[in-house]
Amino acid sequence: MAGEKKGKVGTRGTKQIVEENVTTLKFYRNMSLVACSAFLLITLLLKTLTGTLITMTIISFGIHLGAYQFMKMISRPQLSENGSIIDSGTDLNMEGGIAEHVKDIIILTSGTQILALLSNWFWMLLLLGPVRAIYMLWGSVIKPWLSSKEDVDNPQVNEKKQKKMERRMKRMNSR
């Protein structure tokens, strides 16, 4: 495509990060407000209030509020006395950062609320959050810890593997 730059991705300044964080916060705040407002309006007009509905509504509103406040807290810039930016806070648009997971929580909760207007069974989608957290915890913390402990506990196995590999290399070199 014309005008496309190739090579290293340019770095962004602290001022640009702060401005993008403000825009990102507004977007996810509006997403939460629209989902919650639509859910409340349609629920109050068309549905009968049950204990499950009230409980799940409170839980989903709490998730929205908690996720938004967390994003707001981690993206808060530190300013000097003269108003210049000392630290831009966490970049909410950084790939692979914690903000990416918090944004996913807001998207999941908003989608669940809208789908729950069709059936209360859609509230089960909120369980995808903890399932994903456990999966990530397993892949990044628990499994590596267990495998490293296994290697430390049985050093003979490593020595045997190394000797076997050396014999193979000798055979390959002698051919």
Domain extent listing, the chain:
14-126
Looking at the predicted structure, is the pLDDT value of residue 3 above 60? no
Say if residues 25 and 75 touch (Cβ distance below 8 Å): yes
Whole-number pLDDT of residue 154:
58
User: For 163-173, what is the mean pLDDT?
Assistant: 81
Structure tokens at 128: 């995808």
Q: Which range is least confidently modeled, 12-26, 75-89, 94-108? A: 75-89
Q: What is the pLDDT of residues 49-86, one digit of tens each?
A: 899 999 999 999 999 999 999 999 998 888 788 877 77
DSSP of the chain:
-TT---SSPPPPPHHHHHHHHHHHHHHHHHHHHHHHHHHHHHHHHH----HHHHHHHHHHHHHHHHHHHHHHHHTPPEE-TTS-EEE----TT-TTSHHHHHHHHHHHHHHHHHHTTT-GGGGGGGGHHHHHHHHHHIIIIIHHHHHHHHHHH-HHHHHHHHHHHHHHHHHHHH-
